[in-house]
Amino acid sequence: MKPGRELAGPMTRRRFIRISGAAAGLSLAALGAGFARPGRAPPLYHEWRGVALGADASLRIYHPNAAEAGRMIADALAEVRRLERVFSLYDEASALSRLNREGELADPPQELVELLATSARYARATGGAFDPTVQPLWALYARHFRMKDADPNGPSPVDIAGAAAKCGYQRVIVDAGKVAFAQPGVALTLNGIAQGYITDRVAELLRARGVTQTLVDMGETRALDAHPAGRPWSIGIKDPRADDRLLATLALDNQAVSTSGGYGTEFDAAGRFNHIFDPATGLCAKRYLSVSVVAPTATCADALSTAFSVMPVERAVCALEELGATRAYFVLMDGSMIERGV
């Protein structure tokens, strides 16, 4: 599970994917008649780039009216900012920060209740491999490696066991009127799913406004319909060992993709300890270099790429089928890749 990176200071995680295509890298530029349908004006390409929930983010819209496209982008970013005030651990006033600080939250935002219920579903389906309560483990490792003379072998087994004892998605009590923790010391992070959820919310906002042929990336990537050129969107999975090399190129059409890898955020200079934890052991994930999942929604892809990082391949494939995802790509520690689909 990917916990909140905020306790160690603001960090923007490394990107695991590369978005390619004829329009990549352009901004507010007309694509030309090659993408126009007969009898219709050619669409315009509009792009925004920035940061959402500590991750690089971007929004690509194809729309014939530049002013309307600008309004849609502004509305989408307003929605992102609103949801960050629910899920962010940077913001001490966010709903999630208040819940972690106080141990309970009355009249929680509907989005928090919804995402916690969704998180519990993924936790059950993955046998607890996805667990939003691993924040105590993050806090432990972050504190340890901030110490001047930190043991390079990491926190002690006793300290790890103590932090792991505070984890467990069953320790979160959720209903429409209140969210509470069943014992002291529990803390939540939604960084293993919130980027996907926000990506989906932006995508649905745009779809409701009549936008198609759009690529949304608010930390995870979701394609609405096909590329304006009449082909799927091309998304490349980067080699964790060589940032300029692709291991695979995926074709997305009304699908989403998420990649998780420990190398995205590391606690120590040697790279032995990373931000993805196995809730069962309290140890950092070392099974794969990265895991990518293709699913109908970014929420699903985000949660499963996180969970699969600590699961054996064949066990992950069972969850893949149960939860409606379509493909998974496991990059092994030797750099080879296993692909599985349903």
**Three-class DSSP category at 289:** strand
Domain assignment present for residue 137? The answer is yes
User: What are the strands of the beta sheet with 178-181, ordered from one edge?
Assistant: 104-106, 178-181, 172-175
211 occurs within a structural domain: no
pTM, rounded to two decimals: 0.87
pLDDT attached to residue 45: 86
C-alpha to C-alpha distance for 146 and 163, rounded to whole angstroms: 17
> What are the tens digits of pLDDT across the range 190-208?
999 999 999 999 999 999 9
Contact 222, 298 (CB under 8 A): yes
Is residue 136 assigned to a domain? Answer: yes
In a domain, 163, yes or no: yes
pLDDT in tens, the chain (342 residues): 555 433 233 333 434 444 333 222 222 222 232 333 444 544 588 999 998 877 789 999 998 899 999 999 999 999 999 999 999 998 999 999 999 999 999 999 999 999 999 999 999 999 999 999 999 999 999 999 999 999 999 999 999 999 999 999 999 999 989 999 999 999 999 999 999 999 999 999 999 999 988 999 998 999 999 988 889 999 999 898 887 889 999 999 999 999 998 776 788 888 899 889 999 999 999 999 999 999 999 999 999 999 999 999 999 999 998 999 999 999 999 999 999 998
Is the Cβ–Cβ distance between 131 and 123 less than 8 Å?
yes
CATH number, residue 132: 1.10.3980.10
* Residue-number span of the structural domain to which 110 is assigned: 104-181
Each residue of 113-140: pLDDT tens digit?
Answer: 999 999 999 999 999 999 999 999 999 9
> Which residues have a Cβ under 8 Å from the Cβ of 122 and sit 6 or more positions away?
130, 193, 300, 303, 304, 307, 323
165 within some domain: yes
Domain-located, residue 130: yes
242 within a domain of the structure (yes/no): no
- 21 lies in some domain: no
Domains in the chain: how many in total? 1
